[in-house]
Amino acid sequence: MTRTAMVNYHVHKPHRQAFELDAGGIVGNLISPELAPTEVTVYDERGVGAATTFEGSSVGFSSFPTAVTQFDNTANWRATYDQELTKLLTSELDAKEVVIFDHTVRLDDPDADRKPARNVHSDYSLHGAKQRIIDILGEGTAEEWSQGHYAFINVWRPIDNPINSAPLGFILPESVADDDWILLDLIYPDRKGQIMGLAANPDHEWIYMSKMTPDDVAFFNIYDNRGRASIAHSALDMIEDPNVSSIRKSIESRTLVRF
**Tens-level pLDDT at each residue, the chain (259 residues):** 899 999 999 999 999 998 887 877 787 787 889 999 999 999 999 876 567 999 999 999 999 999 999 999 888 999 999 999 999 999 999 999 999 999 999 999 998 989 999 999 999 999 989 999 999 999 999 999 999 999 999 999 999 999 999 999 999 999 999 999 999 998 888 888 889 999 999 999 999 999 999 999 999 999 999 999 999 999 999 999 999 999 999 999 999 999 9
Indicate the length of the chain as a whole number: 259
Q: Which residues pair with 157 in a beta bridge?
A: 251
Cβ 221 vs Cβ 108: under 8 Å: no
Compute the chain's Rg from CA coordinates: 18
Which pLDDT score is estimated for 13?
95
Say how far apart CA 58 and CA 205 lie, in whole Å. 14
Q: What are phi and psi of 91, to 5 degrees?
A: -80, -40
Say how far apart CA 229 and CA 151 lie, in whole Å. 11
Alpha helices in 25-155 (DSSP H): 54-57, 78-93, 126-137, 139-146
Cβ 154 vs Cβ 216: under 8 Å: no
3-state secondary structure 228-252: CCCCCEEECECECCCCCCCCCEEEE
Provide the residue type at 17 as one letter. Answer: Q
Cβ 28 vs Cβ 113: under 8 Å: yes
Cβ 259 vs Cβ 54: under 8 Å: no
User: What b/e sequence results for 220-232 when a residue is b if at least 16 CB atoms lie within 10 Å of its CB, and e otherwise?
Assistant: bbbbbbeeeebbb
Which pLDDT score is estimated for 48?
66
Alpha helices in 171-259 (DSSP H): none
pTM recorded for the entire structure: 0.94
Say how far apart CA 54 and CA 237 lie, in whole Å. 24
Could you say which DSSP state residue 111 is in?
T
Which pLDDT score is estimated for 27?
79
